[in-house]
Structure 1
Amino acid sequence: MAHPSDSSRRTVTEIARELGVSPVGLRGWVNRDNADRGEGKPGELTSTEREELKRLRKENAELRMEKDILRKAAAYFAKETMR
């Protein structure tokens, strides 16, 4: 294995080959680590922010479904009381 200081002179492809992973996968891990340390592209979300966004989107979908069910139930019961 090469000396750690030599890694700055090697390509991602070389390091990925040495680690037995794909270059695309290794680049993804490096990019994700950079974002998590606040060194990503402007506006790029951290892993924590991505997880929170995923959770909030799921919660939003559930709330929309509940709202639709309640709207339909209210319309149904309003129609029944008009009879």
Structure 2
Amino acid sequence: MSRAKTSFSPQFREEAVMLVIEGSRPIASVARELGIGEGTLGNWVAAYRREHAGDEPPLNISERERLRQLEREARELRMENEFLKKVAMTARFAVTGRYENLPVAVRADVGAA
């Protein structure tokens, strides 16, 4: 079943985007509040950000420090995630005994060639 295409005025689109950008609110919550699709609002926000990429003020010192902290944390979490994937694969090998199903990187960690 297809829905009829709804047309939104440019003013409505702009106001919806501003709720997300200026209010620092999640797209999902604004979309629910306005009764529109998350994907639709997400597309509008992405287009706005592309069009106004140079308009954002530069980060201040505390914002830069926070960004560095978050990037460091993301890097650490990615490394932990990779480690846990290897552990899970190794555990699967221990349970099934099926070495050939393990990825090559994990095979080397298990100790067989």
Q: What TM-score do the two structures reach when normalised by structure 2?
A: 0.36
The structure whose Rg is larger is 1
Q: What TM-score do the two structures reach when normalised by structure 1?
A: 0.49
